[in-house]
């Protein structure tokens, strides 16, 4: 949680690539301490650093991807973050199967040690492969580097100077808003910003409120309670469930940009509710309880992955205005981890107090409540450039204050723009011709222009 809250400060000052390196190093440090822990205190000490790295990475990852993505492909690309997370989950389940025959006192240390491998790849890719965010480069007046990155992202021959100009304009507005209100814009938001925060932060909370982390943490315990006692059978079932979840997320990445955000989120929540109800039936008795539990859990993980899994990071990464994106993403990630902590720490106690059947029925009801909330408040953002979110939410809420602020900024910019020298002198009769150049592309090019801001 602390890592999520501090992520915007380091990300904005050191850059997105350095943020990934720091998150990976902190995670590796915590993993090494955990794998060599001599007792509970040292194990928890290492867990603190692992949590810092995870929270930091979760907050920076979707922001970085959204800033280097075109709007038409942003849904698919941002879901890669969730795909990577689930690859890690599958590898964790596989390690449980591989070490199932190893002494338990050694197996968990080996599993923790393996956790340090992938962060090493993150450090390598962040250093030698991944480009820096063009928006961050422009913010640091490194325009030449930003142009080079944009040329790698956009089609050959596209005028990337147009995008750099758009980013500069957006950063200037963001800077003015930052100095004017700071955190007040989040703590005391106008109607448009309030709706953004409700959608973005609310979606991040909802992802954990449906119980995904708690259920994944205690899958072995749930399978045991349903009657599956064999350790090898449990590990094999976990691997199969993990592969199902991973495969559905890959499909979801394609569908978000085709079908939109709202339909997939609605299908996901409704499917989760039905699946949890099926799981609850496995604890009411009957000879088929084991098969029912496995089937219900498989359905739950599949429906979660088609919408709420990747969507909970895609939606916050794109709905926040550039004025509040870094801070709001930190808040969204923080609340996501708070909810995950509450759900995970109370899971067994509540299930024992209510009975397992009652607990899963309660979670199914929670999914239905979240579905109703999403239906009312979640707007469709498919294909919309990031810098258009302020105007989009202003139109939804009828909040003219944010639009008036932008108009004031544009009027403030007009004198400087009119006095700026043209790089190539042109007769005035050619001015109309310049105005039709792709300085602000038509709507059909909206998937190209301005998505970096």
Interval 239-269: pLDDT, tens: 999 999 999 988 887 888 788 889 999 999 9
Give the pLDDT of residue 439. 42
Report the range out of 210-214, 390-394, 442-446 with the highest average pLDDT.
210-214
Question: Are 83 and 61 within 8 A, CB to CB?
Answer: no
CA angle in degrees (0–180, nearest 5) for 99-104-109: 75
Dihedral, 372, 376, 377, 381 alpha carbons, nearest 10? 100
Lowest-confidence segment of 81-90, 184-193, 264-273 by average pLDDT: 184-193
pLDDT above 90: residue 270: yes
Rounded to whole angstroms, the Cα distance separating 342 from 214 reads: 9
Q: Is the pTM of this model over 0.85?
A: no
| Averaged pLDDT score across all residues of the chain | 81
Give the pLDDT of residue 34. 94
For residues 75-92, give the mean pLDDT. Answer: 81
pLDDT above 70: residue 176: no
For residues 76-80, give the mean pLDDT. Answer: 75
Give the pLDDT of residue 11. 82
The structure tokens listed for 154 are 């956009």
For residues 111-125, give the mean pLDDT. Answer: 91
Q: Predicted confidence band at 4 (pLDDT cuts at 50, 70, 90)?
A: low
Of 364 and 158, the structure prediction assigns the larger pLDDT to 364
Q: Predicted confidence band at 169 (pLDDT cuts at 50, 70, 90)?
A: confident
Q: Predicted confidence band at 392 (pLDDT cuts at 50, 70, 90)?
A: confident
For residues 423-439, give the mean pLDDT. Answer: 43
Give the pLDDT of residue 27. 94
């Amino acid at each position: 949680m602390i890592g999520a809250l501090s992520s915007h400060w380091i990300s904005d000052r050191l850059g997105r690539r350095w943020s990934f390196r720091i998150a990976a190093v902190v995670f590796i440090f915590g993993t090494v301490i955990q794998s060599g822990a001599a007792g509970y205190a040292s194990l928890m000490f290492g867990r603190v650093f692992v949590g810092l790295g995870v929270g930091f990475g979760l907050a920076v990852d979707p922001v970085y991807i959204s800033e280097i993505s075109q709007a038409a492909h942003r849904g698919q690309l941002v879901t890669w973050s969730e795909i990577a997370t689930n690859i890690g989950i599958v590898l964790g389940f596989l390690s449980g199967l591989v070490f199932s025959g190893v002494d338990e006192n050694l197996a968990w240390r080996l599993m923790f040690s393996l956790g340090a491998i992938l962060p090493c790849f993150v450090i390598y890719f962040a250093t030698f492969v991944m480009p820096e965010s063009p928006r961050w480069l422009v913010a640091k007046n490194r325009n030449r580097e930003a142009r080079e990155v944009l040329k790698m992202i956009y089609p050959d021959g596209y005028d990337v100077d147009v995008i750099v100009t758009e980013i500069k304009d957006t950063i200037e507005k963001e800077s003015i808003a930052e100095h004017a209100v700071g955190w007040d814009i989040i703590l005391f938001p106008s109607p448009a910003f309030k709706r953004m925060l409700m959608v973005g932060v609310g979606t991040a909370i909802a992802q954990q409120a449906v119980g995904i982390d708690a259920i994944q943490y205690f899958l072995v315990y749930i399978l045991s309670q349903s009657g599956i006692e064999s350790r090898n059978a449990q590990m094999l079932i976990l691997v199969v469930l993990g592969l199902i979840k991973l495969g559905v997320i890959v499909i979801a990445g394609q569908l978000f940009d085709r079908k939109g955000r709202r339909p997939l989120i609605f299908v996901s929540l409704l499917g989760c509710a039905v699946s949890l109800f099926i799981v609850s039936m496995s604890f009411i008795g009957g000879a088929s309880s084991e098969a029912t539990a496995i089937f219900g859990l498989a359905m739950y993980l599949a429906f979660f992955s088609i919408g709420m899994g990747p969507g909970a990071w895609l939606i916050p990464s794109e709905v926040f205005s550039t004025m509040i994106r870094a801070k709001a993403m930190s808040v969204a990630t923080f609340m996501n981890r708070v909810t995950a902590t509450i759900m995970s720490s109370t899971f067994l106690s509540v299930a024992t107090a209510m009975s397992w059947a009652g607990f899963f029925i309660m979670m199914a009801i929670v999914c239905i409540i979240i579905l109703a909330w999403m239906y009312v408040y979640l707007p469709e953002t498919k294909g919309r450039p990031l810098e258009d979110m302020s105007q989009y939410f202003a139109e939804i809420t009828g909040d003219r204050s944010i639009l008036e602020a932008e108009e004031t900024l544009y009027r403030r910019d007009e004198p400087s723009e009119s006095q700026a020298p043209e790089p190539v002198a042109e007769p005035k009769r050619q001015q109309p011709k310049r105005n039709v150049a792709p300085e602000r592309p038509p709507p059909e090019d909206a998937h190209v222009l301005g998505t970096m801001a």
